[in-house]
Amino acid sequence: MLSLCQKTISKIIITPVLNKRFFTSLFEMEKTPFDYTQDNYEKVDNILSKYPSEHKKSAIIPLLHLAQDQEGYVPESAMVKIASIVSCPVSKVFETFTFYSMFRPKPVGDHVVEVCTNLSCQLRGADQVLKAIQDKLGIKLGETTKDKKFTLLEVECQGACATAPVVVIDGNYYEDVEVQSITSILSDFSHDIVPKSGTQTQRKGPEPMDDQYFIMRVITAYLLCVMGGNETPGVEDIKNVFKAAGIDDSDKDGKIEKFVGLMKGKNIFDVINAGKLQMGSLPMGGMGGSGGSSEKKEEEKEEEPEPEPEPESESESDDDMFGGGLFD
């Protein structure tokens, strides 16, 4: 009984659907015939030469990429052509094509805008960026503008989580984007201007934007000045190093000035050798000398039993440059 039902369903539903799909595909292929250009046929030969003749199917992915580069998408007729080139069933090419999201099944605009909405980008404001793009272009995900200028796509992780949120346009990564920056980027593209890719902020690549790293930069700039012969660098000397390195030289909360004041009359190499400049973990709270962090340490010392006296050593100290003690 079950077998009879399966056969009936197959005849009434499945077979007509498959036939419709088959004839629709034939009609579409007739409307959009595909063949590689002469120049691309040279690339086809180069691709095939990389694989043994008995394993030509290994060339399916690069041949799909080549077809998409030529047409802007992969028409079904291109898959038939590829199948004939690598001597395999068309279904094998279809399987590969549908598995990878980077292959596009329909025509796209001049510029393909891919917005990552995965976890890291979501946490850094991808939703607001996506809305700004939709408002700017007047289209939704998966759509193309009426002038065929832009196509908007949603994608998974682009592998640039450290500089999220990320928008990829024509293969160029635009990182650390915000509503204002992405709107400006799209305006440039609409006027046939390709804006500078990479991070859209002042930071260098994926380095953290934490204040702690700003202080570490100050220390590095101070060291460079001393090594260059300036034994007592001032605020402007450090800012000049920042400018030369292309780093934002704005003195955040006066930290450059405070550091220069703390180092006044001291040799930075002696401080480092004494182990009192803890580069790996610089607390932010007590930058004024005997500030918040030193008070915390005093509280901790009151709770702990008094340790046995130990011989004094220049290399042993619980004080760091911001904790008090050293700069009091």
Q: What is the pLDDT of residue 321?
A: 43
Return the exposure string of 298-325: e unless at least 16 CB atoms fall within 10 Å of the residue's CB, then b. eeeeeeeeeeeeeeeeeeeeebbbbbbe
Q: Are strands 150-155 and 111-116 parallel, antiparallel or unpaired?
A: parallel
Locus of tokens 């043994």: 52
Cα four-point dihedral sign 252, 255, 260, 261: positive
Phi, psi (deg, nearest 5) at residue 125: 105, 25
- The confidence score (pLDDT) of residue 306 equals 60
Report CA-CA distances (Å) from 298 to 60, 125, 303, 306: 69, 41, 9, 12
The pLDDT of residue 327 is: 37
pLDDT of the residue at 3:
58
The single residue listed with the structure tokens 């898959």 is 79
pTM: 0.54
pLDDT means over runs of 10, the chain (328 residues): 53 47 49 85 94 93 94 92 94 92 88 92 91 96 94 90 92 93 96 92 68 74 88 88 79 77 81 57 35 40 55 43 39
Q: Which domains does the chain have, with CATH numbers?
A: 15-99 (1.10.10), 111-199 (3.40.30.10), 211-302 (1.10.10.1410)
